[in-house]
Structure 1
Amino acid sequence: GAIASATAPAATVMVLKEYNAEGPLTSTIMAVVGLDDAFALIIFSLINPIAYSQYKGEASIKLTEIIVLPLIEIFGAIILGLFFGYVTQYLLTKFTEKTRKILTIVTSITLSSAVSIFFGLSALIANMSVGFAVRNFAKKNLEISDEMDTLTVPLYALFFIIAGTEIRFSEMGSLSFLMIAFTYLIARIIGKVGGSTMAAKISGAPEAVQKFIGFGLLPQSGVAIALAYSVQKQYVQDTKVGLLIFNTLLLTAAMTEVFGPLLTKYAVIKSGEGTIE
């Protein structure tokens, strides 16, 4: 459930750019997909210790385990990421060569991840904070979009190759697995569409946002799969539980990456904010 809140911004943003979408719905979708991965990481960090304690059958849950330690993990990762991000953007302002910029970004990500893991912090939150700091602390345009595009494809490919090695088709064919995956998928869709629509109505958002906001929040991949992978590694004593969670997220993420962009297209076209050329 904690992982379900994550959204894949890449697929949604690509659709919005493809159809030159502009307007309140588009700006709201862009803002939400930019924030909910961060919230998903925070929610996961708070919920995961509770779920794991219940799984182990502990009679009592210590306050330090469910509140203090997760908060240290979250805020420690944020502070660490902001530090590395600030240093990174400072160095990027000094470099003009593409190679140096790429090496700076890769080094920052590697160091941030390594230090986070060493101190038991969330590497995902730390690196998200790095990106936030690089984008917001810089006093001028760093012009690193080309460098980021160069890194994105191989990193995404490597990520999904590693994730693919954990797929077990033998675990996906059972009726129980399909029922769990289907229930998760439907519950997530209801939660995303219903929750965002309710929030839009309560906040008095424009009519287009109230009607279509939920359709732009369904794709799910990167962060969700990374969190599922970390859960799988956590349940080393019971590989079936870890595989069940990972395979469920992987299957449903693949499905939402197919129909999610189609629903985003439907939303921006029906709202009148997108154009078909």
Structure 2
Amino acid sequence: MEFNVFLYLAAIFGAGYCIKLVTNAIKIPEVTGYVLLGVILGTSLLKLLTADVLNALSPLSTVALGMIAFTIGIELKMDVIKKLGKSILAIVIFESGGAFAVVFLVLRFIYKADLNTSLLLGAVASATAPAATVAVIKQYKAKGPLTSTVLAVVGLDDAAALIIYVFVEGFVSSNLVGKSVAIPAMLGSALLAIFEAICIGIVAAIIYSLVLRKVKNNDWIALLLAAFLFALLGVCETIGVSELLSIMTFGMIIVNSSPTLSKKSEGIVSNFSPIFLAAFFILGGAHLNVALIGKIGVLGLFYFFARSIGKMGGATLGAIIGKAPKQVRGLVGFALLPQVGVALALALAINKKFTMPQFGQSGIDLASTIINVLLFTTIITEIIGPLLTRFALTKAGETNNSSDHQ
């Protein structure tokens, strides 16, 4: 008997509601509860969310990522960026570069992993997933310098991770087939992909603002916003550029050119995002195969600790060098651990690329190792990450604790 998608969706959202009740009662971030629920329902334990079901429901996760990117873009106001700009750039460079360097060095010289595995895991480590961080910020209605810095950093981090990844992927591909590496071509391809994503976002924002400049009715805005978000997701996926970067740019142009329209658009996204975010984290948790933990557990733990040191240490160093406000310096690193989303997208790109026939069995083994390490450590970061993000925002005095269950 074929599974019914609607019954699965009903079960996911019903279970999500129960998790919301539990997490509010025991005062932990909702995201942590959703991920744990996904692990329980997923391919390892109860097997209710099988690989086929996860595949059929994957568009939900893509829509959630689009909403997350838009939420980040809407927060990137130019007056805030100007005030924090230098420190944001320094934090992005040092936390993404730091994660790559520490993971590569630890895996290559302490764990003694092979060169290709160390490089690819280092590249994937540079990405920070905005979803969990944004969800915690929304849940606790956080506002302030740390919140603004974190949102800008997790947004721009996508571009930094993409540049590192394109370089590494080119090097490893050449390494596996025994060719020399063309660095200028790799750099050109990375910068072109980023430029295309930004241009698509700018053009979409200009058209969106022009069409809606005199519209007051929220229903009209909601219809066109949905059309634009889905179009951006579709176009970026088709031509192979970053959806996150494009939609983030779309939101950023709107908030800085039309504050009223951006406020209405943000309100519309806020009404729908809890549904998609809950599904995103439950489905993300469901991917973990607990049986593989014994196989890649030690490598996964080395990766997790090395990435945590690189991210937190790099972010702190970047904040000091960039002369960030005092509460940002000591706390920004705590909000940058989650990795599901961008890192998982990179892992899937690795899987697609290195399972091609020209890379042979070594390419297949490499892809399998990367994706399983990512899934194993993603569960850890998605459980610990939101707790640390909440700790940082609370310590900075930027949370509003009136977000409990009404």
Gapped regions of structure 1 (runs ≥ 5): none
**What is the CA–CA distance in structure 2 between the aligned matches of 1:230 and 1:115, rounded to whole Å?**
17
Q: Are positions 1:215 and 2:334 aligned together?
A: yes
Cα 1:157–1:263, aligned 2, differ >3 Å: closer, same or farther? closer
Offset at 1:184?
1.5
**What is the CA–CA distance in structure 2 between the aligned matches of 1:275 and 1:154, rounded to whole Å?**
22
Cα 1:47–1:260, aligned 2, differ >3 Å: closer, same or farther? same
Aligned residue in 2 for 1:132: 252
CA displacement 1:139-182 (0-9 Å, x = unmatched): 53330123213443454466568767865554x2333x112211
Indicate which of 357, 361, 378 corresponds to 1:253.
378
Cα 1:259–1:43, aligned 2, differ >3 Å: closer, same or farther? same
Offset at 1:223?
2.3
Aligned residue in 1 for 2:293: 173
Aligned residue in 1 for 2:188: 68
**What is the CA–CA distance in structure 2 between the aligned matches of 1:20 and 1:258, rounded to whole Å?**
20
Cα 1:166–1:207, aligned 2, differ >3 Å: closer, same or farther? closer
Offset at 1:185?
0.9
Secondary structure in structure 1 of the residue aligned to 2:324: coil
Cα 1:203–1:153, aligned 2, differ >3 Å: closer, same or farther? closer
Aligned residue in 2 for 1:8: 129
Aligned AA (1:80): I
Aligned AA (2:123): A
Aligned residue in 2 for 1:41: 162
Q: Are positions 1:189 and 2:308 aligned together?
A: yes
- Check whether the contact 1:38–1:128 (CA below 8 A) recurs between aligned residues: no
Greater Cα offset, 99-108 or 18-27:
18-27
Cα 1:273–1:139, aligned 2, differ >3 Å: closer, same or farther? closer
Aligned AA (1:251): F
Indicate which of 233, 239, 242 corresponds to 2:367.
242
**How does the TM-score come out when normalised to structure 2?**
0.57
Offset at 1:78?
1.8
Offset at 1:256?
1.4
Q: How many matched pairs?
A: 274
Aligned residue in 2 for 1:80: 200
CA displacement 1:122-153 (0-9 Å, x = unmatched): 44433333333333333533301232134434
CA displacement 1:85-111 (0-9 Å, x = unmatched): 322233343544444433323332333
Aligned AA (1:104): L
**What is the CA–CA distance in structure 1 between the aligned matches of 2:214 and 2:276, rounded to whole Å?**
25
Q: Are positions 1:263 and 2:375 aligned together?
A: no
Secondary structure in structure 1 of the residue aligned to 2:178: coil
**What is the CA–CA distance in structure 2 between the aligned matches of 1:106 and 1:20, rounded to whole Å?**
24
Secondary structure in structure 2 of the residue aligned to 1:60: coil
| % identity of equivalent residues | 36
- Check whether the contact 2:154–2:336 (CA below 8 A) recurs between aligned residues: yes
Offset at 1:218?
1.7
Structure number with greater CO (CA < 8 Å, separation at least 6) is 2
Offset at 1:186?
0.7
**How does the TM-score come out when normalised to structure 1?**
0.79
Cα 1:44–1:207, aligned 2, differ >3 Å: closer, same or farther? same
Aligned AA (1:101): I
Offset at 1:37?
3.0
Aligned AA (1:8): A
- Check whether the contact 1:49–1:65 (CA below 8 A) recurs between aligned residues: no
CA displacement 1:40-98 (0-9 Å, x = unmatched): 334334443333333x3332123454122222222122212221232223334354444
Q: Are positions 1:108 and 2:257 aligned together?
A: no
- Check whether the contact 1:91–1:104 (CA below 8 A) recurs between aligned residues: no
**What is the CA–CA distance in structure 2 between the aligned matches of 1:115 and 1:224, rounded to whole Å?**
21
- Check whether the contact 1:163–1:229 (CA below 8 A) recurs between aligned residues: no
Aligned AA (1:132): M
